[in-house]
Every structure is written in C-alpha cells, then in structure tokens.
Chain A
C-alpha cells in the first residue's frame, strides 16, 4: 500500500511560491476572516467546537485541548492568561519554528480566537531563546496585526480586546515544561512547580488561571473555528483527530516536515515512501518516533496485542513499519507520538554512542531541582560516557538500568520520564551492544587514560 497524500491544513500555504509572512499576504489568502467570524460567535460556542473536535495537544503529551480549557478556574475573579508555548526544544522537532517563520499570522489568529473563547485579555508567546529570528518575525507580525486592529483593544470594532507579548527564553530545555515556563515568565529560575497545587488551569501565571498551549495546537484552533468541531473530528482517525506535522530527521533520503492526517500513515510509509527510504547501501536500524525522549523502536521487533477499532477489539501484529503514526498506536507499542520529531538511525550508528549523546543532553538540561533527575541524569551520562571512553566496569550496564528505572514517576515534572526513557529503551532493545561495546573500547583504551569518572 502506498502512502496517502499529505493533508496540509496548517502548512496549506507554506512553501507556496510567493507566500510570505507579512500581513498583506496572509489577508490575501483569507487571513483573519475566521477571527472575524469567531468574534461574532458566543465564546462558549467556540469552546464547544474545540471540545467536539477532539483536538489533542501537539506539544508532546497529547492532552485533550478542550478538556484543558474546561479545567480553567473561571470563577476565581482573577484574570485568565494564555501562554503560547513556543519553546520548541525537543531534539528532532522543528515544526513550530516553520509555522512562526513562515506563517506567523496563522498563529496569531489562532491565539486571538483562543483568547476570545476563554475571555483572555493578555497572552504571552514564550519563545525559545535560540529563536531570535522567530521572535523578530513575531514582533513584526504582532505590530502589523495591532495596526490592523486584529490584536489590541477593541478588536474589529468589538468590545473585546487582547494584547499579545513576546517573551524570549534564555536557553533551557526545561522552559518547555509548562510550569517551568510559567516560573521563567515570572522572572524566576524555571524550576517546574510541584503538583498539587500548581495546576496552571487553577494556579498558573502570577497564581492566576492559565492556559498553556503549543503553537501547532493553537493553529488548529483556527481551523476548528473555521470548519467546525465536527468536521475537524472527521479528519484523522477516531481519538486522533486532525492533522499532525511530522518532522523527519536522520538517515533518510528526504528529511523534512510533512503534514498528514493523524493515524492515516504508517511509519513504513512515512520513511520509505515519503522520505525516500534509507541512504544508499544502508538499512534502517532504529527510529525514535516523537522527539528524543520518546522510547526508541528497533527495526525487526514485533508488537502484538489487541486494539480497539470502532466498537470491537481486533488483534494486531505489527513490525515497526506497520505502526500508524498516531498517539494511541504509538502509545500501545510502548513509545509515544510526543512532539512529532521522528529521528531515524541506520546501521552505521553505534547505540552506546547515540545514547551517550542523548544522556549528555538531558544531564545538561535537568533543572537540578529534584534528586532522582538531577543525580540520575548525571549518572546516566557519566556511565554511558565511561562506556564510550572505555573506562566502564562490568557491572555498569546493570547500574545504568537501575538508575534509569528509578526516575520515571518519581520527579516533580515529566523531565524525569523524558530523560530516562531513552536509556530504558536503548538498554531493553540493544542490550547486547551495551555489553560488547565497552569491552571492545576497553581493549583499545590508550595507556594512562583516566579511570572512573
């Protein structure tokens, strides 16, 4: 079966010749018409449409967007804030950057519709510090939109007004965690907040109810407001509605970003048909399907079980190539759709070295707040580094596993999972390499090399 066609909703105009990121171009392509339509609606009606649409958050966790909005404490008497999470830091993910660079007004329109629907008067776009160009584009776009009365007080002649501000991060992965982001926005260290009591929908920015949504999610809101929740829910597959942007990187012929209906394309179709297969003379060895923290999949392994299709349960027996690219299917086989960053590795890759690289990243990015993550990510890095440098001990593979096993579910935020899943899955699937490789390195160890790190 050949791959389905891309279904470009968010990326409808991106890459079109002559399509630019200024307001005039956007308006020429029908921009802000849906905002005009939305402000004539009742805010609750828009919230209902989003609930009906079944839209799931595109930041990584796949939490229901309508559900998130419905948890807002609307009776507190405090202002409600929207924070746009544009801190796209997950290795292997580059979708939000393209939206911001190439179609910023689409994001702004989505923001304004979301703000109107939730009676938000102030929205912040928290953009990654490493995206200075994106921040400048957004600043310009906001200025244009404000001048055209799409943003600011009394938009489009209504009584409703909302301001959007850009806040640039200072270079930390943890700022993508929503409560860490909030702390950072408040001017503090981005230490994620302990839950309870700090669920952003109740106690968020400045202790006020706050929605934190990903860039791509908010763009979808615009299209839901356009086509209606029901129509949106027909795109994709049940429970995995709409389209999703997949960012493919690594050892394929045509890496890049692709937008497909969720669940309508399998991993095999994506890598082989869409991305042109492995590089010449190479074979796929492994793939990380949802950003570097997602558990790795090994080509050749099989996944068996029962899954729900419609009302009935059916058996499945999948290879990696057969897995549909949706939240639930990837979850069923022990990994996740995450942020949509698909990282492909072929048989040239040494898994110990690959993991050492990932572990170095997470050890560097742990905020340091809680013990299992701060010390655990450090030891995962140190141990894989010992392996790479040929100074590992025989018992280190087992030690590595025990460290990784004690982190998930024990930390303040989901970084604990993010940093330990790679180690857990690499060890589970490529355990042999972790036994053999250190020995070969040890044999080649130069004289006078340091012992344990």
Chain B
C-alpha cells in the first residue's frame, strides 16, 4: 500500500514557552502553539481564512525579533524561541480587550453567543474591565443590510470589526457580498451601497456566521432558541450533494429541535465550509408536512393505519406477487439519500425475500454511465482523487460540471486552487461562475461532448503531447483507439461544436502539459443518450496524457446525492453485489448465499426507467420505493404517472407526501437523515458517520427498521440491533470495505479501498496500476443527441441544478432562506433569443417540447448560448421534467436530461 503521497513538508523544531515543538515549515506560530496545547488568544484568526492580523491579541515575543510579533502571521523557523504569555503580554491583551469592549455592546446575558464567545472568554481570562473608558454606547441604526434577510442577522453593536466575515466572503466564498465601509472607528461591516444582503451577490453560505468570533453574525431563525451551552452538538454529514461535508447540528434535546447548523474547521472534506443548503437547509426536519403515520390508500385518498396493519398488508401482497408472477414482477428502488446500511438492506431484501435482482438506485438517472464507463476503462467507477487534492492541481479540466452551484464545497476548493495559480479549462455550454474565470472556456453546444473530446484527443496526438511511456506500460487498446481518431478533423469538429478550433488546441496543450492536470465532470457528461461513451472518452483523455494515478491528477466524477456513491457501493443495482462484486461470479455468489442462507436470484434485473415502462406494459406488478420521487425526477412526467398508476402495488418509504407517494398504495413514514445513525459514502469514496440528532416525528421509523419489518413479514426474518451491526455484516462480505467499522470511521472517515483493519484508506486510485490491471482505451464514435433542433422546436433545452435548491426540492424548499433566493422555476435565455421572441426580463413564459409544456420566469442574460435555453428542475408546481426527453443511454438507461428540442411561447 503506498503511503500518503501528498507533498511532504519540512519539519522544523522550535521552543514555545520553553517547550520543544516540532511543526511543518510554513505553519504559523499560532497553529504551532495550538498543536502543542498552548492557546494563543485570537479573535480575527480562523483556519478557513488567510491570516488577517487585525485583532492584535495573538502577539508573542520571539527572541531576536523586534517588538511584538503576530502569532497568526509569523511562520515557524528552526531554533525560534517564543514566549506566548508573560506579564507584559497579559497587560497588553487586557488593554486591547478593554478597547474592544469600549465599543461593544457587552450585554452577554442576552446574547446567543454567550458561552461560545471568544471575546467573553478572553475578557474573563485577562480580567478586562468592561467600562474603563466610562462610555455609554450609541444605539446602532434600527435597520441594516440584514433586516429583510431570512437567514442572517447582523448585530452591529456586537461587531468587533475583526474582518473575518468580510475576508471569508471575499476570499473563500468569493461572493464579495460583504465589505467594510467608512474608516477608523466609523468602519462598519456592510454590503456594497448598503443594499439588502439577499439582493447582493451573497450566496447565503452562512460563512460569515460560522467564522464570527462573537455574536455579531447570527442565524436569524436561531436567535433566542438557545445559547451554545444549552444545546447539544451532534457531528454528522450534510444530507444534500455528494461532497460529504461534515457538519455540527446544534440541537435542543428537550424540545427535540435542530436549532442551527455549523461546521468545524477540522471537518475532513469541507474544512468547516458549508453551502446554503448545508447551513440553512434543515428546516424540513421540523416541517409540519412530515409524514407521521403509515398510510393506506382508500378510494378517495389515504387513511391512517397501524404499523402492524401496513406491514402485514405489504408483506402479504409482495409475497403473493412474487409467488404468482415471478422475480421480474417486482422491483425495489433504493435511495441515494439513505445511509449505506439501509441501501445494503434494500438490496438484501430484494435478493432474499424478494428473490429478484430488480433493484436499482437513482445513480441510473445521473452517474450510472460513470460507474459503467470508468469501470470499463479503469476497473473502478468512482472519483480517483480526493477533494483535498484539488488545491494542488496545476490545471483543472472541467467538462459538463458546475461545481460552484451543484457541488459548492468542491467549487470552493477550485476557487482556492485558482487563487493559488491553477489554470482552468471549462467546457460548458453555459457561462458558469467558473467558466467566467476560466483561462479557456469552450462553450460547445449541448450533446457535442464526444465530438469535442475526440478533437482534443486528436490535437494531443498531432502535437506529440501523448504520454507514450504511460500508454505503453499502463494501458491497452491504444491501436484501435488511435485508428478511430484518424478520421477526426479538428476544424470540422470545432465547427460542429460551435467553438473556435484554436481554443480546442489551446485546451489540449494546457491540459496535456499540466503538472499535474485533473479532470472533473458531472452530469453534463453522463445525462446523455451517449453518456457511457462520453465517460469512456474522458477516461481516454486522462490515459492518453498519463494524467491519472497521481496526487491531484485523475478523473473525477462529482457525485450528485449525499450517498449515491454509497448506494452503488452497497450493490443497490441489478448487476453488482455489495463492494462491486460481480453478481454472476460463482465464488461471490457462493459467499453471499452462505451468509444470507438463500440461493441468489437468477434474473438479470433491470433499471429504474425500465421498471417504469415495464409497469406501463403491466409486466411489473409491484414497485417498492425507498426515498425517491420518481415522478418529479424522471423524464416525461406525464408518461411516468400514467405508467406507475398501472401498478398493483406501489409502496413508498417517505418523509413527505411526494409526487410519487401520492400514487402509492401504502406509505411508510420514515425517519429522516437527522433522526438515525449510519454512514454515507462521499464522492471521494470516504465513508463517514451520520448521527441521530433528534427523534423522528410521530410514529416514523428509521428506514432500516421498516425494511427489517417488511422482510420479516415476507418470510425472511431480518433483525439488527443497530446500523453498526448491519455495517459489520456488509463489511464481512465486501473485501474493499473489509477494514472498516463504525468505530474506525469515527470523525475522520475512511476512504475505500480499505481491505484490512490496519489499512489507512486510499486517497487516490490507480497509483502504479489500474484497478483492472491495464487501463483500457475505447474507440468512441460520435453520436448526436436523439432530438436535434428543427423548425418546430428550434432551441436546445438543457437542465440542471441551482445553488439553492436540491433535486425535487421537497427538502430545500421548506427553508425560508432558500425560498427567498430561489423561489420558483425560471428559464435562462440569451438576450438575442429573447429579443427574437419579444420576451422581457422576469416575464412568465412557456417552454414547449414534444412531450408537453412548462412555465417559468425568463432570466435574460448571456449565461447561455443563443441556441440554448436552460432550466432547473426543482419546482413541483412547474415541473421541468414534464418536458425532458425520455430517451436513454443504451448501457445504463440514463435519460438524456441535458438536451432536447424546445420552443418558447409567450404566456
């Protein structure tokens, strides 16, 4: 096993207060002291932000250096002798604190921050006099830039003007919404021109709240709901995208409520950063719309039922259908929102009690082409590198990815890389935030990805930039791949893509010569009828240049849901058993059959879109869905509803009455993410613990408990004490997770492969050797999208996620902050197109495709090309997926969400 190959820092020795300390070169004195257990007082330092040095509390004495040295800015040097506390320093700190207090509303008894306020702590530690200057503070202005904000409250009279919020906003989030205005003692935190915060470039990430050392920036909704010391801190993982941000929920146990969310700088992936969804997106947990009792369909709706009745009914009906119609008559949809343990149980339930391989998860609608394509090329379908490596990239190559909105914390790391001088190539039909700052932005037309990639590959070959040694030693299939590219002409390809050939050449050079370069892609690559081909071609690009299998170099699909990686890891798909073991391998089958005490089903199994069409044809009789809203998220909604309505039995485990649940025969109320224990697999293959923070509402149960009950009722008894026990069973059957346990995962997580209890986990894959042995080149022929623009539908409609909302929106849209920023459906239109149709900004318009129509507000701007319109799909009342195209990738059945032909109409 290779040791962690990150760049090694030189260590230096120094003494702090007579104590010998060893620290990495470049460490600040403050951090070196902290590591040695010495707490240097500081208000304006936060590990998330570059040192500011404004509070002047961390000053220390260093032998041989003049005056007081800033502990946060001065780095360690060999042989340094540092004094952090003496009478003079204490006197100075006391005085500085008194100055701060002279200008600070010190009504600690009414402050939410009390008990967790560093100013309060230091004032106590150094005995600062609150009223040494004899002053009565003027009242702050009655309103400020947060008065109308739903999430953030700025208490001007508590602000100590340390600058952390401003610096965070400017340099970490790079939103530049907060600033200082005026100077000297008049200096005040505000927004440009004192505008309302929610009307500025603020992205509502809550960073200002998380870094504020005092009670000046607060969660508005949490004010008065409990001070830090009254609340219990629960470390868990964010329930939204696949980045895997660790967060702390502050919980009022007595009232069973999450009061607010934050994150600590030592969080493994996100380093204490969160996006708007992570920071503010938990309102849904306490929503009155939560399902609290099992529901059974009646003629005119639903009736409340007991658990006994509902479970008994479902168990009996599933058994009957299985026995009557065989394994292909029932299917199970697992949830990428649920922890690994529950995904494991869903597929176990399907393969034991259900006796079918008809199990799938939502990866099919997003990253199934990744799993298929990268497995074919490399042998392993996951992010090859870690989030922490992004900052060390010399060149980032993004294609079909908009991380600053869809994976905001990975976006944050890319911003950090940019600040450190990385070069950026973005291939995207839209001018995303990163595209606007890219060194090369290739704005190709949707659906032309393979044409573009082939052209880039051709340039690399033409210019002799291929890594011949890597190809010879590590790869196979090169000859055929090279032959296939012979027919490609860069000029012609560029014309088809609608970009300049010179841009393609420049991108090819920049990527090939980067030391190192890494590829990041998302659904812009996979959600096409040629998604798997796209992925394979991305893999070709990395192999051709040898940009894989190294620190900060590889191919990185950014996974969509919090646990879509885990749903795949757990084998919640037809052709794989947990740990990506082949369903057809007799050795593997024997192992599982022995452990589970059943003979494994023989049917091939199918995928979500095919379940739906099978239901429409009457072949599928029963569908069991855990936490998925197929109606809202599958393409061509009208058809989906029609098909699902034909089922004999539709069972949903849900937290809300989703669009799909409305069609169900039985609905089981589930505990949500904050109400149970388990593990999520982050996109970077890191398994992390989620922990129960509050009790579920009413009679809702954790999904694993419900699954055990259903399985038992079907005649296959399942009993577990807790999720940890389920995890242990899973681990014993899946060698790549063999060394893991809840206890080992702890607060830091573990990255698979991790085969033995001693194994430290794997930050990046394919070091020295691909998982499948040799990397395999694939010769890719370009196939255009299934629906080309025509006279009747002259535009290309592309869809995607916004920063604020998440997928079907039934979690995020319960949050006031999010609704303030992203209230309803919209259509991005180029100004030329808008002019052609006579459409004005903010006008409500209709988008029509061959499948139907949907409305949205017109957002006119040059983020899109003139031949494209773009829409999000978060809004149930204006469902964009009503009109997306239900044509699928032949390998993975992933729908072509990213392009179909459309027409605009005025309302």
Contact = CB atoms under 8 A, between A and B. Distances in A.
Nearest to B69: A196
A259 interface: no
B95 A366 contact: no
Contacts of B68: 409-410
B183 A367 contact: yes
A438 to B, nearest CB: 15
Interface in B380-412: none
Nearest to B421: A207
Given A372-B56, A410-B68, A402 B95 contact: yes
A189 interface: yes
Contact of A375 (B73, B134, B185): B185
Interface string A371-395: 1101111110010000000000100
A409 B65 CA distance: 12
B59 interface: yes
B100 A410 contact: no
Contact of B54 (A197, A406, A412, A452): A412
Contacts of B56: 370-372, 410-411
B184 A195 contact: no
A412 B68 CA distance: 11
Contacts of B179: 189
B55 A371 contact: yes
A369 interface: yes
Given A375-B100, A377-B185, A409-B67, A370 B92 contact: no
Most chain B beta carbons < 10 A, residue from A174, A189, A197, A375: A375
B186 A194 contact: no
A368 interface: yes
A363 B187 CA distance: 11
B74 interface: yes
B75 A366 contact: no
Interface in B175-204: 179-180, 182-187
B53 interface: yes
B102 A379 contact: yes
Contacts of B92: 406, 410
B879 interface: no
Given A196-B73, A411-B56, A412-B53, A376 B99 contact: yes
A374 to B, nearest CB: 6
Interface in B511-534: none
A194 B99 contact: no
Contacts of B134: 393, 452
Nearest to B185: A378
A399 interface: yes
A365 interface: yes
A172 interface: yes
B184 A377 contact: yes
Given A194-B52, A194-B53, A371 B96 contact: yes
B78 to A, nearest CB: 16
A371 B54 contact: yes
Nearest to A194: B53
A376 B103 CA distance: 11
A227 to B, nearest CB: 35
Nearest to A368: B187
A364 interface: yes
A403 B185 CA distance: 15
Interface residues on B, range: 35 or more
A378 B59 CA distance: 22
B96 A406 contact: yes
A372 B183 contact: no
B515 to A, nearest CB: 16
A73 to B, nearest CB: 16
A375 B161 CA distance: 11
Contacts of A372: 56, 95-96, 99
Contacts of A369: 54, 163
A370 B53 contact: yes
A63 to B, nearest CB: 14
B537 to A, nearest CB: 36
Nearest to B51: A194
Contacts of A382: 133
B73 A197 contact: yes
Nearest to B179: A189
A194 B69 CA distance: 11
A363 B185 CA distance: 7
Contacts of B52: 194
B73 A378 contact: no
Interface string A208-220: 0000000000000
Contact of B161 (A364, A368, A377, A410): A368
Most chain A beta carbons < 10 A, residue from B92, B103, B134, B182: B134
Contacts of A370: 53-56
B135 interface: yes
B657 to A, nearest CB: 51
Given A194-B70, A368-B186, A370-B55, A189 B180 contact: yes
Contacts of A367: 183-184, 187
B26 to A, nearest CB: 10
B174 to A, nearest CB: 14
A374 B102 contact: no
A374 B185 contact: yes
B95 A374 contact: no
A410 B67 CA distance: 8
A195 B73 contact: yes
A376 B98 CA distance: 10
Interface string B216-235: 00000000000000000000
Contact of B73 (A194, A364, A366, A411): A194
23 contacts: A174-B183, A189-B180, A194-B53, A363-B185, A364-B184, A365-B184, A368-B161, A368-B186, A368-B187, A369-B54, A369-B163, A371-B57, A371-B100, A372-B56, A374-B161, A375-B185, A377-B185, A379-B133, A382-B133, A393-B134, A406-B96, A409-B67, A410-B59
Q: Which 6 A-B pairs have the closest CB atoms?
A: A368-B187, A375-B99, A194-B53, A378-B185, A366-B184, A409-B67
Given A194-B52, A194-B53, A412-B70, 6 more contacts: A363-B185, A372-B96, A378-B185, A403-B95, A406-B92, A409-B68
